[in-house]
Amino acid sequence: MLDLPGFFAPFILYAGILALHVLLPARRVAGYVRDPATGEPLSYRLNGLPVLFAAVLAWVIVGWLGWLPFDWLYHHRWASLAGACTIGLGFTLAIVLPAPATGKSLAADLFLGRLENPQLRGPTGPVDAKMVLYLIGAVMLALNLLSFAAHHAMTYPEDPSVGVLIYVGLLGFFLTEYLLFERVHLYTYDLFAERVGFKLGWGCLSFYPYFYVVGLWGLADRPNPHASPLLGAVAIAVFFSGWSLARGANMQKFTFKIDPARVFLGVLRPEVITDGRRSLLCSGFWAVSRHVNYLGEILMATGLALALGYPSSPWPWLYPLYYVALLVPRERDDDRRCAAKYGDLWTAYRQRVRWRIIPGVY
């Protein structure tokens, strides 16, 4: 039987998140990407955290008043995923087809996109397609996470799993801190090197909010595994060591890009390799490997997989596996891009920092 409420739920939720983004107060910041027409940095309105808190508050109120059960999104997850996929596909066609072709095949244009950084003039300022896509993905992921965890708690009220609590805490932290550091995202590959097509559009609207919670998707209705507290402690330790690497490397590079002489965290003095015109950081996190931040993301995902307390189930491991599949080719792409952009300087940097992602291994 067709589950129409589930199918249309993401249509309503995504419209609500967009409305919150447009209406709630926001910081205005200049980005890293420049407008090709004027040469000026693009302007952004950032309010990810208030949007997340407002959406979660609305979810709590709706559940509290009994309008919908707290685990409604869990029960409707397949239809909701189908709705989100439909939105992702519709968005892809609407953003790609009217735009000028890049000269590649139509399939490549549909997949990778044609427009680099589309922005609309909203009533309160610019609405940036990429940042809105990431925001919608993040907020919907948070609602799925809470609903899936609520399903577990409502199914096993006498004996809920501590692992689910740890998982919600870690993934909730991942989302909250991503939105807290939303501005740093303006300095990443997605913003300066990717266009908006299926990969980014469908990825943010369908894949990100549904797949990133795959551990609970598979295990929310399983009973408390009574896993050893040591496993929970290891999960938390692995997650936060990954977070230190990813956030540390990203913040060090962000600090360097906005103020090349600034000492990071008061201790990491920037050492650079330079051709006199351009410089690359080669101290601190950027001396360990050329993408130690990717290692950090994979470790965070591993911590999440361990947290649920079912280490022999394949479900939670799909998440770190996905990161390996995403980030290994991405490092190769970025390496090619940097080799083209920096030339001999990149070759010298490669000689100085030998490892791609995992120091001593790869």
> Minimum distance from CB of 321 to ligand NDP (Å)?
13
Q: Which is nearer to ligand NDP, 14 or 174 (CB)?
A: 174
* Shortest separation between residue 276's beta carbon and ligand NDP, angstroms: 16
Distances (CA, A) of 268 to 61, 164, 196, 276: 45, 37, 36, 22
- How far apart CA 150 and CA 160 sit, in angstroms, is 10
Q: How far is the CB of 305 from ligand NDP (least distance, A)?
A: 14
Q: What binding mask, one character per residue, do residues 230-249 give for ligand NDP by CB under 6 A, x or -?
A: ----------------x---
Residues 153-182 as x/- pattern, contact with ligand NDP by CB under 6 A? ------------------------------
Regarding 280 and contact with ligand NDP (CB under 6 A), the answer is yes
Closer CB to ligand NDP, 92 or 293, in the complex:
293
| Residue 69 CB, nearest approach to ligand NDP (Å) | 29
Return the number of the residue (78 or 189) whose C-beta is nearest ligand NDP. 189
* Residue 151 identity (one-letter amino acid): H
Structure tokens at 135: 């925001």
Instruction: Report 283-312 residues binding ligand NDP (CB under 6 A).
Output: 286, 291, 293-294, 297
Which C-beta is closer to ligand NDP: that of 129 or that of 281? 281
Considering CB under 6 A, how many residues would be counted as binding ligand NDP?
17
3-class DSSP string for the chain: CCCHHHHHHHHHHHHHHHHHHHHCCCEEEEEEEECCCCCCEEEEEECHHHHHHHHHHHHHHHHHCCCCCCCHHHHCHHHHHHHHHHHHHHHHHHHHCCCCCCCCCHHHHHHHCCCCCCEEEECCEEEEHHHHHHHHHHHHHHHHHHHHHHHHHHHCCCCCCHHHHHHHHHHHHHHHHHHHCHHHHCCCHHHHHCCCCHHHHHHHHHHHHHHCCHHHHHHCCCCCCCCCHHHHHHHHHHHHHHHHHHHHHHHHHHHHHHCCCCCECCCECCCEEECCCCEEECCCHHHHCCCHHHHHHHHHHHHHHHHCCCCCCCHHHHHHHHHHHHHHHHHHHHHHHHHHHHCHHHHHHHHHCCCCCCCCCC
Q: Which is nearer to ligand NDP, 34 or 75 (CB)?
A: 34
* Min dist. Cβ of residue 213 to ligand NDP (A): 13
Q: Convert residues 318-357 into a mask of x (bound to ligand NDP by CB under 6 A) and - (unbound).
A: ------------x---x--xx--x----------------
Sign of CA dihedral 228, 233, 234, 238: positive
In the bound state with ligand NDP, the residue whose beta carbon lies nearer, of 221 and 271, is 271
Q: Identify which of residues 117 and 293 has a Cβ nearer to ligand NDP in the complex.
A: 293
One residue of 250, 255, 289, 302 binding ligand NDP per CB under 6 A: 250
| Cβ-based nearer residue to ligand NDP, 80 or 250 | 250
Residue among 11 and 181 whose Cβ is closer to ligand NDP? 181
CB of 50 to ligand NDP, least distance (A): 21
Distance in Å, CB of 110 to ligand NDP, minimum:
21
Contact set for ligand NDP, span 35-64 (CB under 6 A): none
235: CB partners within 8 A, 6+ apart? 163, 166, 170, 303, 304, 306, 307
The least distance separating ligand NDP from the CB of residue 59, rounded to whole angstroms, comes to 22
Query: How big is the chain, counted in residues?
Result: 362
For residue 17, give the nearest of 87, 99, 115 by alpha carbon: 87
Binding site for ligand NDP (CB under 6 A): 188-189, 246, 250, 253, 280-281, 286, 291, 293-294, 297, 330, 334, 337-338, 341
